[in-house]
Amino acid sequence: MHPAPSIILFTVLSGFGFGLISITGLLQFFNQISIFDLITFSILGIIFSTVGLVSSFFHLANKKNAIKSMSQWQTSWLSREAISSIFCLLLVSANIAWVFLQNMYINEVGIVLFFLALFTIFTTSMIYAQLKTVPSWNNIFTPAIFIFAALSGGAILLTSYASLVTLLVFGTLQILFWYTADRGFKDKETSVGTALGFDANEEIRPFDAAHTNQNYLLNEMVYKVGRKHSIKLRYISFFTAFVFPMSLILVFPGEFSISILAILFHFVGVYFSRWLFFAEAKHSVSFYYE
Amino acid sequence: MTKLPKCDEKKLGLLIDLDTCVGCHGCVVSCKEWNSSGSDKQLSDINSHRRDPVGTFLNRVHSYERENCNTNETEPFYFPRSCLHCEDAPCVTVCPTGASYKREEDGIVLVNEDDCMGCGLCAWACPYGARELDLVSGVMKKCTLCVDRIYNEELPPEDRVPVCVKSCPTGARAFGDFNDPNSDVSKKVKERGGVDLMPEMQTKPVNKYLLPRIKSKNSAVSSGSGVEEETNAKGLLGWVDRALSKL
């Protein structure tokens, strides 16, 4: 699949933003956060998730109809994502206003924010995980890595040792994701044979192109550039997303300036991981072209 | 709106005979022509008369070859690919704006371009690559089963079929109601064993394909010259033949 920068930025930034909101909410529920921190990190969460959502808006080819994307929540994960993120942003803004005016916070609002932000990240991941046409996405580890990538980002900034746990879980899930994603179509029946109505192992070769040039399908879904470097990129992603941040946190626990450095590494790692998520994914339409 | 209706009455679709198709791309051209004229909803082209042209099409014809197990020869076949108007259309349910829908009365899957925001998720959800985002208008395009022809009373009755069916010079494409067991398409599917594409994707396509028949050794055209054996020609040619033979 085509790794469009607007979509990668959308999933990474909005994930990070909602991760911050959800960890802040959890700390609020357990009374573990100062009013200053609560307001600061909630605002940061709003900024990142909004920048992510705006970035996804630039991916649309017909932006004037974007508002209609809130209408089909009964069937569409993308619609649920739009609604849930708006609700979450409204609630977190109301929470900030309340805390600012009353100089105190209501613990229960925190737990609602925690689950609402988690649900929003889940809906984002389901946009991809629901697609049977892309088997490397169509598994449980897609929501899992989206959620734990987001939670890790929030935890690095807001907690000390707790972030080691989320990072460790994220790292494990990431490896499991790559392992299952590599199975791709291998466990599926789909082949050029079934794509054309024959048996799965029928030997069929294309001898002429259906069109003389690129088209939307090839650009969007039969994207192959960069796959040859994917193993190197996985190492880069793994070290910057997990190993460096975890070592930094272990060596300098509780130092906020180190957390900033750790989050920068983590962010680059998650970006690479998300780039690979798209670039390595194979769509069933590519069988018509091979 | 993106909830799939139960289409109990009619399931309109195409039956495509890969044994007959010669890969002329006539259906591709006529489809582009019909769907680009007479309305403001164009299938756009970029650089159409320059280097690297790209354009939106609702129908593409691929060319493949496979070994014939009887003759050990490679046989080509041609494969027109377009929307299959699936009963469980995944492109419809993923649509966030409600632009994609399946008609209850005849099962045709359509895009309401006034609602489409061009996110492209439906094209990702379709296993067959039947949807293409038009890069000029920014909305999703797909086969309409020529809904503006098949019910069009301005057209003579014999023209009220999808234009790809009308224009196919070999008769490889047929249009009809797959829900009616007595329709021509249903009968042919039964007789020749019509198949679904990627049945494992559980989309339940309405369109069916008839696969190329494997030619037996005997059915191959004899390579001997048939010309010399034509001694019994009748009519004017026969007279010329006889007259020349006497010389």
Residues of chain B contacting residue A196, judged by C-beta atoms under 8 Å apart? 64, 79, 197, 209
- Same domain, yes or no, for A43 and A164? no
When pLDDT is averaged across residues B32-61 and rounded to a whole number, the result is 88
Confirm whether B245 is domain-assigned: no
Confirm whether A265 is domain-assigned: yes
* Chain A CB within 8 Å of residue B129 CB: yes
Residues of chain B contacting residue A208, judged by C-beta atoms under 8 Å apart? 63
- Same domain, yes or no, for A18 and A112? yes
Q: Which of A67-71, A207-211, A242-246, B136-140 has the lowest mean pLDDT?
A: A207-211
Confirm whether A113 is domain-assigned: yes
Amino acid at A270: V
pLDDT at residue B8 above 80?
no
**What 3-state DSSP class applies to B149?**
helix
Per-residue model confidence as pLDDT tens digits over B151-168: 999 999 999 999 999 999
Confirm whether A162 is domain-assigned: yes
Tokens of B204: 């339940």
CB A110 within 8 A of CB A29: yes
pLDDT of residue A226: 67
pLDDT at residue B148 above 60?
yes
Q: How many domains does chain B have?
A: 1
- Domain with A195 in it: 158-290
- Rounded-to-integer distance, Cα A230 and Cα A279, Å: 9
User: Who among B2, B60, B127 is closest to A75 (CB)?
Assistant: B2
* Chain B CB within 8 Å of residue A6 CB: no
Question: Comparing C-alpha atoms, which of A208, A56, A217, A10 is closest to residue A133?
Answer: A217
Confirm whether B132 is domain-assigned: yes
Residues of chain B contacting residue A130, judged by C-beta atoms under 8 Å apart? 94, 125
pLDDT at residue B131 above 80?
yes
Task: Kindly identify which residue of chain B lies nearest to residue A2, measuring between CA atoms.
Answer: B124
- Same domain, yes or no, for A162 and A284? yes
- Same domain, yes or no, for A119 and A169? no
When pLDDT is averaged across residues A76-96 and rounded to a whole number, the result is 97
When pLDDT is averaged across residues A169-174 and rounded to a whole number, the result is 96
Confirm whether B225 is domain-assigned: no
CB A272 within 8 A of CB A241: yes
pLDDT at residue A241 above 80?
yes
When pLDDT is averaged across residues B3-29 and rounded to a whole number, the result is 93
pLDDT of residue B220: 52
Q: What are phi and psi of A199, to 5 degrees?
A: -70, 160
Question: Comparing C-alpha atoms, which of B57, B41, B239 is closest to residue B142?
Answer: B57
- Same domain, yes or no, for A165 and A252? yes
Confirm whether B229 is domain-assigned: no
Mean pLDDT, chain A, integer: 93
Q: What are phi and psi of A34, to 5 degrees?
A: -80, 160
- Same domain, yes or no, for A61 and A124? yes
With a threshold of 0.90, tell me whether the complex ipTM lies above it.
yes
pLDDT at residue B129 above 70?
yes
* Chain B CB within 8 Å of residue A221 CB: yes
Per-residue model confidence as pLDDT tens digits over B74-98: 999 999 999 999 999 999 999 999 9
- Same domain, yes or no, for A178 and A251? yes
Tokens of A281: 């994914």
Confirm whether B228 is domain-assigned: no
pLDDT of residue B239: 83
B142 pLDDT band (50/70/90 cuts)?
Answer: very high
Confirm whether A195 is domain-assigned: yes
Per-residue model confidence as pLDDT tens digits over A121-157: 999 999 999 999 999 999 999 999 999 999 999 999 9
Is the Cβ pair A195, B198 closer than 8 Å?
A: yes
- Same domain, yes or no, for A193 and A125? no
Mean pLDDT, chain B, integer: 90
pLDDT at residue A225 above 80?
no
- Same domain, yes or no, for A89 and A46? yes
Task: Give Cβ neighbours of residue B242 (< 8 Å, ≥ 6 apart).
Answer: none
Task: List the beta bridge partners of residue B76.
Answer: B65
Confirm whether B244 is domain-assigned: no
* Chain A CB within 8 Å of residue B62 CB: yes
User: Who among A59, A188, A216 is closest to B200 (CB)?
Assistant: A188
pLDDT of residue B111: 96
Q: How many domains does chain A have?
A: 2
Helix axes A244-251, A256-279, angle to 10 degrees: 170
Q: Which of A112-116, A267-271, B225-229 has the lowest mean pLDDT?
A: B225-229
- Rounded-to-integer distance, Cα A204 and Cα B77, Å: 10
Task: List the beta bridge partners of residue B62.
Answer: B79
Task: Give, as one character, the DSSP assignment of residue B195.
Answer: B
- Rounded-to-integer distance, Cα A156 and Cα A254, Å: 10
- Same domain, yes or no, for A63 and A165? no
Confirm whether A179 is domain-assigned: yes
Confirm whether A35 is domain-assigned: yes
Confirm whether B7 is domain-assigned: no
* Chain B CB within 8 Å of residue A138 CB: no
- Same domain, yes or no, for A163 and A290? yes
- Rounded-to-integer distance, Cα B123 and Cα A59, Å: 14
Task: Kindly identify which residue of chain A lies nearest to residue B64, measuring between CA atoms.
Answer: A206
B215 pLDDT band (50/70/90 cuts)?
Answer: confident
pLDDT of residue A224: 74
Q: Which of A46-55, B33-42, B70-79, B165-174 has the lowest mean pLDDT?
A: B33-42
- Same domain, yes or no, for A276 and A167? yes
Confirm whether B236 is domain-assigned: no
- Domain with B76 in it: 12-210
Instruction: Supply the CATH number for residue B177's domain.
Output: 3.30.70.20
When pLDDT is averaged across residues A60-84 and rounded to a whole number, the result is 95
Burial of B49 (0-12, 13-18, 19+ CB in 10 A): exposed
Q: What are phi and psi of A219, to 5 degrees?
A: -65, -40
pLDDT at residue A197 above 60?
yes
Tokens of B114: 């006034």
When pLDDT is averaged across residues A230-258 and rounded to a whole number, the result is 91
Residues 197-236 of B with CB under 8 A from A: 197-202, 209, 211
